[in-house]
Structure 1
């Protein structure tokens, strides 16, 4: 069952199903690529600002979810384990904060902070600052005493200088038809991956089934535990019996991966798909059939205020292949202390 935009579904089908009608827009792709390249040149050469701290950008070159948030959480945990005070910069898509820059706190709601920033703050406790002006957010985090900054979905935000770039690719979707907007799903040409420091491929196992023009690192999302949406009580993965039918609600970039994960846990999902960053209401959960309700941790932060006591969310960990961390640590050591 889909509750998403028909228009959005049409574009996704064209990009990833490689429909021919979209190639009529090739002249527009040429304009998009020209202006994107010109914008990058202007920002990098004349407007880019550095804030006196190492900035690690985590982003992607395609439209839609690729698994950036779990990776950011894993990176924050790794940096915190080294004793570093970490700050995360986010645009806060869909947020309605009372002011900007906005620092996420215990009193923040998903409406104020946005779903991803609040999810990151809850998972790590690190400082998270929201502002479309990422330079302003970075300066706030620097003044708060942070040692290193992560910029969420910041690959194309060239005004903020960066020390390292990590691009995340969704192996299930790949690059679609390989074209840039509006003909394809790419924000920048695939050649952009040659210029980043790390390419992380989000796939169901650490066995690669996607080939690239340069070295890359595999990542999978591993279920960690369930938690109750209402009060955050943690529950084991076998809390729901194998074979159980559930209402699976997802308002994320690639809901199919969530549904596939539920299947691997032995569950049978009745799928309810919404647009990425959908603002849920109680009415979205008026189902005809009475079944357990499950969702992603990103969606849970938007449903806590009206959730039923037994609604569950799945927490996942980003598990990277072993060779990633030594090479990431080596790159980090070259930055610290940051001059």
Structure 2
């Protein structure tokens, strides 16, 4: 994260008044959004309907909120219910020139992006990378997927969706509640009226969400184990207690990772990089202290000729009440689509 980005982010979440000098740009951004949505709602811009149900997992803020762990657990829930889900993602940070691209065992983070690799390895579901949502949805359907989970894409109106899930960070909340660039919001909070489910990652104390509490759930993301990137050997997270460590992190909300390590009792020396940053050998500390990274960063570090670096494995836990509601709604969608096609 550059110095300018840090200053702007602090202004968003510490309610600095100087950021209001960009208020005219916020008005322009808001107007452009309304015009764009009007064009889609009236059919002036075309929106594609996939042959199978589409679940979009996204957020209305910039930065990390815990979306990727939620997607992974969501796919697990769908698989357990007998579905064959597929994931579509933009593959941010990837350098592939030919799309759509189906992730496989030989794919690299440099090619398809770190999140695509992470999703594929943790779900073993088809993962299709393409910024064109229509194209990626078609490819997922061709691969035999009967449900599509879109990793991000809440603002990608070119693809119709059947279920929308929004994720918030319980610590950062809604910032100063302004739209970009004055605040961190991609969309106005009234957008939450139309989504189906809202997840709050961590503390559930966002008073603004009280009017949507009937569809709000807590997302618990917990550390599970430490995994050596090279040997895949695991050790317990309790081993971090009272240990001085280096923490390398290049994700949307690095503070959450650092705080998790501190909660586990570690004395953390943080090294923060831009989201999706590709590490080099020179980025790795040369002393003998343990180096801990996120699993998302591990898929980029694993190609370096290094040993002894570990990543913190995490797991998302979804409430049973949400699972019941989701599967019930999905069953109704499939029955409706089947009847529609038969007619």
The alignment's TM-score, normalised by the length of structure 2, stands at 0.93
What 5-or-longer segments of structure 1 have no aligned partner? none
Q: Secondary structure at the match of 2:51?
A: coil
Please state how far the C-alpha of 1:98 moved relative to its aligned partner.
Answer: 4.1
Q: Which moved more, 1:301-310 or 1:136-145?
A: 301-310
Match of 2:323 in 1: 325
CA distance in 1, matches of 2:83, 2:42: 30
The alignment's TM-score, normalised by the length of structure 1, stands at 0.94
More helix by share: 2
Contact 1:223/1:317 (8 A) holds in 2: yes
Contact 1:229/1:307 (8 A) holds in 2: no
Q: Secondary structure at the match of 2:88?
A: strand
Instruction: State yes or no: 1:5 paired with 2:17.
Output: no
Please state how far the C-alpha of 1:234 moved relative to its aligned partner.
Answer: 3.5
Match of 1:39 in 2: 36
Please state how far the C-alpha of 1:235 moved relative to its aligned partner.
Answer: 3.3
Match of 2:258 in 1: 259
CA distance in 2, matches of 1:44, 1:104: 33
Match of 1:80 in 2: 79
1:54-100 CA distance string (max 9 Å, x none): 00000000010100000000000011111211110101111111411
Q: Secondary structure at the match of 1:28?
A: helix
Match of 1:193 in 2: 192
Match of 1:91 in 2: 90
Instruction: Note the 1:113-152 alignment, pairs <5 A.
Output: 113-152=112-151
CA distance in 1, matches of 2:144, 2:264: 42
Instruction: Note the 1:168-183 alignment, pairs <5 A.
Output: 168-183=167-182
Question: RMSD value over aligned CA atoms?
Answer: 1.4
Q: Go from structure 1 to structure 2 and tell me whether the alpha carbon gap of 1:52 and 1:6 turns closer, same or farther (over 3 Å shift).
A: same
Please state how far the C-alpha of 1:290 moved relative to its aligned partner.
Answer: 2.4
1:30-52 CA distance string (max 9 Å, x none): 11001012112223442110111
Q: Secondary structure at the match of 2:334?
A: coil
What 5-or-longer segments of structure 2 have no aligned partner? 339-343
Match of 1:298 in 2: 296
Q: Go from structure 1 to structure 2 and tell me whether the alpha carbon gap of 1:106 and 1:231 turns closer, same or farther (over 3 Å shift).
A: farther
Match of 1:272 in 2: 271
Q: Go from structure 1 to structure 2 and tell me whether the alpha carbon gap of 1:259 and 1:145 turns closer, same or farther (over 3 Å shift).
A: same
Q: Go from structure 1 to structure 2 and tell me whether the alpha carbon gap of 1:45 and 1:316 turns closer, same or farther (over 3 Å shift).
A: farther
